[in-house]
Chain A
Amino acid sequence: MELLVASAIGVLTAGGIYLVLRLRTFPVILGISLLTYAVNVFLFASGRLTIGAGPILNRYEDLTYADPLPQALVLTAIVISFGMTAVVVMIALGAFLGANDDHVDDIDDTEESAQ
């Protein structure tokens, strides 16, 4: 099971990095979203993987639970990352509407084509 989660984090990271390195804003935003998933799962996994033991306290029995702290941190991270994605999308949109260009690189075309 651990291998599945670890490899999923890896695949999401790899895809995220690849898309972040694209030249237009939209794929970069998609890449950031993938990286967000990867990072959130990564943080969540720092509490180790637990199946069937949600962090809901049982008042009458002494049980073991999934680590609640990474969950709480990741919960806010998910909401915040929505806010951040929205801001980045807005900036990208403003740039495109203002300049009719959605390149992420601010260098002139001659340099870019030389790359």
Chain B
Amino acid sequence: MSLFLIVAVPFLGALLPGLMNSAGRKACAGVTFMVTLVAFVGLLSQLPAVLAGEVVQARVEWLPALGLNVNLHLDGLAFFFAALILGIGLLIIAYARSYLARGDNMGEFFTYLLLFQGAMVGIVLSDNILLLLIFWEMTSLASFLLIGYWKHVVEGRQGARMALTVTGMGGLALIGGLLILGQIAGSYDLSVILENREAIQASPLYVPALLLILLGCFTKSAQFPFHFWLPRAMAAPTPVSAYLHSATMVKAGIFMMARLWPVLSGTTEWFVIVTTAGLLTMVIGALIALFKHDLKALLAYSTVSHLGLITMLLGTGTAFGAMAAMFHILNHATFKAALFMSAGIVDHEAKTRDIRLLGGLRKLMPITFVIATIAALSMAGIPFLNGFLSKEQMLEEANRTVLFGAPWLVPVLATVGSLFSAAYCFRFIGHTFFGPVRDDYPAKPHDPGAGLWLPPAILVVLVIVIGVAPFLAEPFVKLVTADVLGAAAEVPKAYFKIWHGLVPALFMSIIAVVGGFLMYLVFAPLLRAWDATPRPDAKPMFDGVIAGAVALARGLIAPIHDGAFTRYAAVMVLAVLGAGYYAFGTGVVGATAREMQPMTPIAVGGWAMVIAATAVLVVMHRYRLFALVMIGIVGLMVSAGFVFFSAPDLAMTQFTVEVVTIILLLLALNFLPKRTPDESGALRRIRDAGIGIIGGIAATALSFHYLMRDAIEGPISAFHVANSYKGGGGTNMVNVILVDFRGFDTYGEIIVLGIAALLIYALTETLLSGPVRARLLNRKPDQAFAGDAHPMMMVVLTRVIMPIVLMVGFYIFLRGHNEPGGGFIAGLIVSIAVVMQYMASGFGWTSARLRYPYHGVIGAGVLVAGLTGIGSWFVGKPFLTSDFTYVRIPPFQEFELATAALFDVGVFLAVVGAVMLSLESFSRLARRVDMVESEHPMEINPARDDPAEDPLNELRKARTETA
């Protein structure tokens, strides 16, 4: 199966459990199992190639410009981890099916689990580090969701947050580190990076990169001092703890260190940091584990300790250490997952994981007892079990390692760690299963069904098989080791044997096991001593750091972000001005290259009107209606300016938009107060005016500066000028740019416009369905209504003019490709024609004649434009490639047919729909209960406020009198 599929199957499969949720628990778990099985079988299908020493590859370019490609590879190391992830995944899924309670949402659980699985497989198969980082972050997120799966459990939520904070922070560091590595190597492909050992280690950025990468690995793999999140993640359901937090996710950091071993290891920095962190983690983890009463917490700290062991082995930088690390990963995954599942069984059956409430389970749960005991003894390092073998290798490696110039330091600490490790294993067995049978278990324990014990039993069989016949695992471990080492070192010759003769490692091992058993025997006094010793607790410290960070962020943000919009606006303007001033002051300023064009009286007149209208607007802005008149003048003068400076399309657009904008603002003003109260003091006004004037001077200076100079490079529109007719078939270059050269931009813009209109519609709906509706309906208008709301002159005029306006719109649309015009402008003109009907004849009359809802018009527009673009796919061209031809149908003149015109139809429809939907939404707010919906819009409004003042009444009266 292709590597793409192996990675994709869990992600695609993640859709299924949710869908199967209603089909029952068995179906839900079954489908998850099948998905994982498919991926697993797909992986196994690559085994022959991997065993033959090949590196299976699958590559596809994603964003080659960024160096981000979906490059996957599968060598021995990747295969090893992928097999662990999928193989143990299968067992975990089977186990979880029995473990989850009836009330738990199984579909949700398995969806998260498959997402995690896919991300994890993605990490180990990625050949591109950017892709790897994406998967890396996804595992952190999936882990967050899984730890907090029981949403009602407070510890679960807190643990999930802590895990996400710590691993997420590490992930950020890792991103930085890997990017540096990619920069040094000149490629983001691992295969290239791994060949650049000399360049990377010689680079001055090696140490920062190493520190950042190790930060990522240590947080993920819970190395001291970042180990504290892992035990708190144990609030997750046991299958999650067994899967993510012992077998797979926490090994991602280890995987990363192993993957980058050829380029990073071998330096003093690597050796000291990694070995020390590993040793400390190993000893501290084992010590804490010994005194934990919660079975899962005990196992969690033991996992921390074993991860430390593996880290230490990678840190020594020797080939033998790397091999021992790989072997221990395999062994640890088997016995630790079995132990977690056993702990889960005990919890599930006895309803407690507190070791103090347990004991004597040997007789009540014989199957569980056998499984857990074998796994725990393997962890303790007892011969004929696999844990013994890798522990011997570890001790042998420790014996050769000299840290800080003291040859005794590493062997002694390794032995002490092993001793504690043996002690907690004995305690785990002894205090849970041995001792007298009690009668105060929270529930009567008994062995569970095969669904729960079979998965760990399979793992325990592996524990024994590897333990008795290590030569079976040897070729595979050496294959994996060869891929870890790469070209940096040779695979060691050492054979995997139970008996190595009377070597120092054997004596260290004996000391550890015997010492561990002695510690177990004197556990009670040890526990008292432990409880009496003060120890730092990570949770308050972590919470303190978080609280500190929050307080710092508040302290920085609160003074600026205090809820006052005016303050943000002022701060932003000043910041932009400051940055602009700095950029201007430090940049290179060229000399004036252009002549100033002479002013003409007309231009000066237009300029004066803009200045005057703006000034009056600012001074009189509190009279809102008047302000609208002023802003209308500004808009009209801007349109006139566009005409003057050779931009006819812009002038037409600005002019039509001006009309609809003013109508819109008038509609809004209908509800808003007509006057802005005078509430800011003189000081504030002077301050604001100061900011405004500085901004204005800056804008003037910048505009004048570049208006007087030529661009450094020639304008790119030279291309558009040259190709507008040749390539686009139109002479109106602005329109050709809109519908052809930059059609994709325009497509995005009409979508944005449509979304804006739909947003307005949605907001209106929300307002009208809430308490605002009642207020609107009973609103007392603050101005008297006109007697004839729909004056006859206007009604007749607008109806007469309607077809003419439509024809103008049509004409503007058609000529758009060659003369000023086009879809945008035509859309606005037609909108104005329709708006005039609303204004003249009333809302009811117009909407009764409306055949198509405006939403549909927007949708149709976007659809037409999109389909036009897709059409070019059928002739094998990229999206929105345009084509045109000239046709001549007698007796007409020859004319042009262009696909771009079809695209422009889409633009036209979207603009009409968006403008009309916005304006219609606003006017819907204005409808009142007592409003007459008349079929005859020219009728006199009977609801008018003061009929006596109607001059028509006088007239009628006079008439009746004369009659």
Contacts and interface: CB of A to CB of B under 8 A. Distances in A.
B657 A98 contact: no
In this complex, the member of A9, A18, A41, A80 whose beta carbon has the largest number of chain B beta carbons within 10 angstroms is A18
In this complex, the member of A21, A28, A44, A104 whose beta carbon has the largest number of chain B beta carbons within 10 angstroms is A21
A30 B631 CA distance: 8
A76 B746 contact: yes
A105 B563 contact: yes
B749 A7 contact: no
B717 A68 contact: yes
Given A57-B733, A68-B734, A15 B692 contact: yes
Contact of B699 (A10, A24, A111): A10
Contacts of B715: 47, 67, 69
B672 A37 contact: no
A106 B696 contact: no
Contact of A21 (B607, B692, B697, B911): B692
Interface string A1-43: 1111111111111111111111111111110011001101110
A113 to B, nearest CB: 9
Contact of B653 (A24, A53, A67, A79): A79
A17 B653 contact: no
Nearest to A28: B565
Contacts of B32: none
Chain B interface size band reads 35 or more
A28 B647 CA distance: 29
A54 B647 contact: yes
Q: Secondary structure at chain A's binding surface: helix, strand, loop or mixed?
A: helix
Given A66-B647, A69-B716, A87 B654 contact: no
Interface residues of A, number: 90
Contact of A59 (B569, B627, B731, B819): B731
B664 A86 contact: yes
Given A22-B676, A68-B720, A92-B668, A7 B700 contact: yes
A91 to B, nearest CB: 7
Given A6-B700, A67-B717, A46 B646 contact: no
Given A23-B679, A72-B734, A96-B672, A33 B653 contact: no
A70 B165 CA distance: 46
A51 to B, nearest CB: 6
B279 to A, nearest CB: 55
Contacts of A85: 661, 664
Contact of A65 (B566, B721, B760): B721
A32 B242 CA distance: 58
Contact of A50 (B604, B607, B645, B660): B645
B709 to A, nearest CB: 9
Nearest to B828: A79
B884 interface: no
B598 A1 contact: yes
Q: Secondary structure at chain B's binding surface: helix, strand, loop or mixed?
A: helix
B692 A78 contact: no
A8 B610 contact: yes
Interface in B8-56: none
Contacts of A44: 642, 645, 647, 650
Contacts, number: 327
Interface in B707-735: 707-708, 710, 715-717, 720-721, 724-725, 730-735
B615 to A, nearest CB: 7
Interface string B591-622: 00010111110011001001100110110011
A115 interface: yes
B403 to A, nearest CB: 59
Interface in B760-777: 760, 763-764, 766-767, 770-772, 775-776
Interface in B358-401: none
Interface in A58-115: 58-59, 65-69, 71-72, 74-76, 78-87, 89-94, 96-98, 102, 104-107, 111-112, 115
B756 A75 contact: no
A78 B657 CA distance: 7
A97 to B, nearest CB: 5
B78 interface: no
Interface string B163-183: 000000000000000000000
A83 B756 contact: yes
A96 B671 contact: yes
B602 to A, nearest CB: 11
B918 A86 contact: yes
Contacts of B573: 17
B738 interface: yes
Interface stretch (B122-130, B410-418, B633-641): B633-641
B607 A75 contact: no
A67 B716 CA distance: 9
A24 B669 CA distance: 13
B145 interface: no
Contacts of A83: 752-753, 756-757, 914, 918
B749 A79 contact: yes
B665 interface: yes
Interface in B553-571: 562-567, 569-570
Interface stretch (B491-499, B539-547, B683-691): B683-691
A28 B624 CA distance: 12
B725 A57 contact: yes
Contacts of B914: 83
In this complex, the member of B566, B684, B710, B746 whose beta carbon has the largest number of chain A beta carbons within 10 angstroms is B566
Contacts of A15: 614-615, 617-618, 692, 696
Given A1-B597, A55-B646, A68 B721 contact: yes
A3 B763 CA distance: 43
A8 B746 CA distance: 29
B752 A53 contact: no
Nearest to B644: A51
Interface string B897-925: 00000000000000100110010011001
Nearest to A8: B610
A90 B667 CA distance: 10
Contact of A3 (B596, B706, B737): B596
Contacts of B720: 68-69
Contact of A71 (B624, B650, B724): B650
A55 B734 contact: yes
A9 B911 contact: no
A38 B759 CA distance: 26
Contacts of B599: 1, 3-4
B672 A93 contact: yes
B410 to A, nearest CB: 61
A68 to B, nearest CB: 4
In this complex, the member of A2, A8, A75 whose beta carbon has the largest number of chain B beta carbons within 10 angstroms is A75
Contacts of A22: 566, 621, 676, 680, 688
Interface of A: 1-30, 33-34, 37-38, 40-42, 44-59, 65-69, 71-72, 74-76, 78-87, 89-94, 96-98, 102, 104-107, 111-112, 115
24 contacts: A2-B707, A4-B607, A6-B703, A7-B704, A8-B607, A11-B614, A15-B618, A17-B695, A19-B617, A30-B617, A44-B645, A45-B707, A46-B706, A53-B646, A54-B820, A55-B721, A66-B647, A72-B734, A76-B746, A81-B657, A82-B664, A86-B757, A92-B672, A112-B564
Given A10-B701, A24-B677, 7 more contacts: A3-B704, A8-B611, A22-B566, A47-B715, A57-B733, A79-B824, A80-B749
In order of increasing CB-CB distance, the 10 nearest A-B pairs are A14-B696, A10-B700, A83-B756, A6-B704, A18-B692, A68-B733, A72-B737, A57-B731, A6-B703, A69-B717
Interface of B: 562-567, 569-570, 573, 594, 596-600, 603-604, 607, 610-611, 614-615, 617-618, 621-622, 624, 627, 631, 634-635, 638, 641-642, 644-650, 653-654, 657, 660-661, 664-665, 668-669, 671-673, 676-677, 679-680, 684, 688-689, 691-693, 695-704, 706-708, 710, 715-717, 720-721, 724-725, 730-735, 737-738, 742, 745-746, 749, 752-753, 756-757, 759-760, 763-764, 766-767, 770-772, 775-776, 818-820, 824, 828, 911, 914-915, 918, 921-922, 925
